[in-house]
Amino acid sequence: MLLARVLARVVDEGQLTIIDAAGRHHRLEGARPGPDVTIRIHTRWTGIRLALRPRLALGEAYMDGKVTVEGGDIYDLLDLVGRNIVALEATPMVKWSYCLQRWIRFLQQYNPIGRAERNVAHHYDLKDQLYDFFLDRDRQYSCAYFKTGDEPLEQAQLDKKQHIAAKMLLQPGLKVLDIGSGWGGMGLFLSQQFGVDVTGVTLSKEQHAVSSRRALEGGVADRVRFKLLDYRQEPGRYDRIVSVGMFEHVGSAHYVEFFTKVKELLADDGVMLLHSIGRMEPPGGTNTWLRKYIFPGGYTPALSEVMAAIEKVGLWVTDMEILRLHYAETLRHWRQRFLANRERIKQVAGYDDRFCRMWEFYLAGCEISFRYMNQMVFQLQLAQKQDAVPLTRDYMLDAEKGVTVKRSMAAE
Calculate Rg over the CA atoms of the chain.
22
Residues 244 and 46: their CA atoms lie apart, in Å, by 38
Residue 90, classified by CB atoms within 10 Å of its CB into exposed (0-12), middle (13-18) or buried (19+), is exposed
Q: Are strands 197-202 and 238-244 parallel, antiparallel or unpaired?
A: unpaired
Centre a 10 Å sphere on the Cβ of residue 305 and count the other Cβ atoms it contains: 16
Q: Which residues on neighbouring strands pair with residue 221, listed in sequence order? A: none
99 in catalytic set:
no
Tell me how far apart the terminal alpha carbons of the chain are, to the nearest angstrom: 54
User: How far is Cα 208 from Cα 97, in angstroms, rounded to an integer?
Assistant: 37
231 three-class SS = helix
Q: How far apart are CA 356 and CA 348, in angstroms?
A: 13
User: Are 20 and 45 spatial neighbours (Cβ–Cβ below 8 Å)?
Assistant: no
266 forms bridges with which residues in the sheet?
Answer: 238
CA triplet 324, 250, 285: central angle to 5 degrees? 65
Cα–Cα nearest to 366, from 250, 287, 281, 252:
287
Is 41 in contact with 66 (CB distance < 8 Å)? yes
Across the beta sheet with 197-202, the strand order is 224-228, 197-202, 175-179, 238-244, 266-279, 375-383, 316-323
Residues sharing a CB contact under 8 Å with residue 286, sequence separation 6 or more, in sequence order: 101, 105, 108, 109, 295, 298, 299, 300
> Which residues face 199 on adjacent strands?
177, 225
Q: How far apart are CA 246 and CA 250, in angstroms?
A: 7
C-alpha 356/C-alpha 360 separation (Å) is 6
- Cα–Cα distance between 205 and 104 in angstroms, integer? 30
What residues act catalytically?
Answer: 366
